[in-house]
Amino acid sequence: MARRAPARDIAENDLARSGGYREGRGAGEAGPRKRGDANVGQTDFSIAIVGAGIGGLAAAALLLKEGFRVTVYEQAAGFARVGAGIQQSPNVMKVHRGLGIEKHLREISFAPRTSLNRDGLTGETTNEFPLGEDAVKRYGAPFLAMHRADLHSALAGLVPQDRIRLGRKLAAIDQNGGRVSLAFTDGERVEADAVIGADGVHSLIRDYTSGPEQPRFTGRIAYRTTYPASLLRGVDPGLSRTKWWGPDRHIVIYFTTAKRDEVYFVTSTPEKADWITRESWSTRGDLGELREAFSAFHPDVRAVLAAAPEVHKWGIFERDPLPAWTKGRVTLLGDACHPMTPYMASGAAMALEDAVSLARCARGVDRDGIEAALKLYEATRKPRTSAVQAGSSANTWMRNATDPDWLYGYDAWTAPLGAPDPGKA
Ligand SMILES: Cc1cc2nc3c(=O)[nH]c(=O)nc-3n(C[C@H](O)[C@H](O)[C@H](O)COP(=O)(O)OP(=O)(O)OC[C@H]3O[C@@H](n4cnc5c(N)ncnc54)[C@H](O)[C@@H]3O)c2cc1C
């Protein structure tokens, strides 16, 4: 079956550079009903994506490339540069390669030499896993650490501005007769042939597909900030991504830029069970409380905390794997369907892999085929994201000798579509 031509409004030199992206569906894969040749190149099939976070933007870029008429609806009025770093492991760097932004990310990001795990109190190394060139040799892609806003901005650059509607907060969703209707808080109503809920951990669309249920507050918060490395005054965070493990709390520290002029830390710290905030990246934390919480930690950790000019705090939520992500022509992606604690640094990675899988499953489908395509996507992704949710919840990843090949070695562009064969699991 012929595929539709790429949509013209995506930069050719971005998505088109992909190696894996050009790969077709796996041989012999049963797939949803495809469009006939007569429809190739048409862009009248509309997909609405709710949420312009990391997952929603990647999905938008890839579905546009597949020729769908995509519109992204985002509640925020603009994209703010919140102080946070993000790790991108080799599996997700392959996604970025296909998106055409790997080179850019390599140029601006910090490439840690190792994943260094140390006892928070004594400083003793409990596990050191080689990254840097070793990761490239072993997995075919680097392991990078960067500012979250730099990643978000690289992804936003793949989606034409007129495809993103800012300041549109979804209030209600329904579907009828092959159309999905969306109502926004400002009174606007739109319809689409299919909808992707990429609206994060507190997803409204998740309530629609699976019934209302709050994500579980883990009783822990993440203090985090980025700040200029010059404030460290001689303290060296080292060339690794370092996680310092305490008995009931931890802190991760790394540079976020290739120039190593910005440092980031993020903690997991116990918090009162009634402390809950729905959003967000902008809630301020108390530096005194944070320093007190880590006062028994190694002097290197205390020095990094002492240099921080401010800090934010973020409630850590999780859910058990959902029974289903898809309802008719509506499905979920990223934190909306598999929110996880950040302890494997893989939430965004899973959202980005989801986007690749979704685009592959939707490739060339017509209106009659979309529901099967969304189910195929869900079947492809759920086993892997459930395993990462469980691993993240356990919070033991890399503390001691760990084989990360199953996570880092995955390639979303070539992974078989559909539920894994239990005989090969
Ligand atoms: C402290 C911390 C550290 C982390 N570190 C890492 C890491 O190193 N590596 C990694 O891979 N992952 C990491 N993660 C996880 C990662 O941040 C998330 O998994 C990722 O952001 C999920 O992307 P998303 O697009 O699904 O959701 P989000 O990024 O949350 O985006 C959802 C979007 O939907 C919008 N939205 C929500 N509701 C509505 C509505 N009703 N109408 C319209 N728009 C709406 C929101 O405004 C937002 O823009 C970390 C998470 C935390 C908390």
Cβ(131) – ligand 1 distance below 6 Å: no
CA 27 to ligand 1 center in whole angstroms: 34
Instruction: Check if the beta carbon of residue 143 is closer than 8 Å to that of residue 131.
Output: yes
DSSP 10-44: S-HHHHTT-SGGG--SPTT---PPBPPGGGTT---
- The protein residue with its alpha carbon nearest to ligand 1, atom 19, reads 347
Please say if the pLDDT value at position 14 is more than 50. no
- The protein residue with its alpha carbon nearest to ligand 1, atom 7, reads 345
Q: Give catalytic status of residue 264 as yes or no.
A: no
Residue 64: the pLDDT is: 97
Which of 226, 194, 204 shows the shortest CA–CA distance to 82? Answer: 226
**Architecture of the domain whose range is 12-80+152-214+323-417:** 3-Layer(bba) Sandwich (3.50)
Convert the pLDDT of each residue in 47-75 to its tens digit.
999 999 999 999 999 999 999 999 999 99
Helices (H) and strands (E) in the chain, counts: 12, 17
Q: Which of 16-30, 93-107, 307-321, 326-340 has the lowest mean pLDDT?
A: 16-30
CA 124 to ligand 1 center in whole angstroms: 33
- The protein residue with its alpha carbon nearest to ligand 1, atom 4, reads 342
- 197 three-state secondary structure: strand
Convert the pLDDT of each residue in 178-190 to its tens digit.
999 999 999 999 9
Convert the pLDDT of each residue in 217-256 to its tens digit.
888 999 999 999 999 988 899 999 999 999 999 999 999 9
CA 424 to ligand 1 center in whole angstroms: 32
Please say if the pLDDT value at position 81 is more than 90. no
CA 335 to ligand 1 center in whole angstroms: 6
Instruction: Check if the beta carbon of residue 315 is closer than 8 Å to that of residue 273.
Output: no
Please say if the pLDDT value at position 41 is more than 60. no
State the pLDDT confidence band at 277, using cuts at 50, 70 and 90: low
Please say if the pLDDT value at position 5 is more than 90. no
pTM: 0.91
Which of 306, 277, 279 shows the shortest CA–CA distance to 82? Answer: 279
Residue 148 CB partners (closer than 8 Å, separation 6+): 82, 84, 85, 86
State the pLDDT confidence band at 216, using cuts at 50, 70 and 90: confident
Cβ(254) – ligand 1 distance below 6 Å: no
The class (CATH top level) of 85-150+215-318 is alpha beta
Task: List where CATH 3.50.50.60 sits in the chain.
Answer: 12-80+152-214+323-417, 85-150+215-318
Mean pLDDT in residue range 391-412: 95
State the pLDDT confidence band at 422, using cuts at 50, 70 and 90: low
Please say if the pLDDT value at position 92 is more than 90. yes
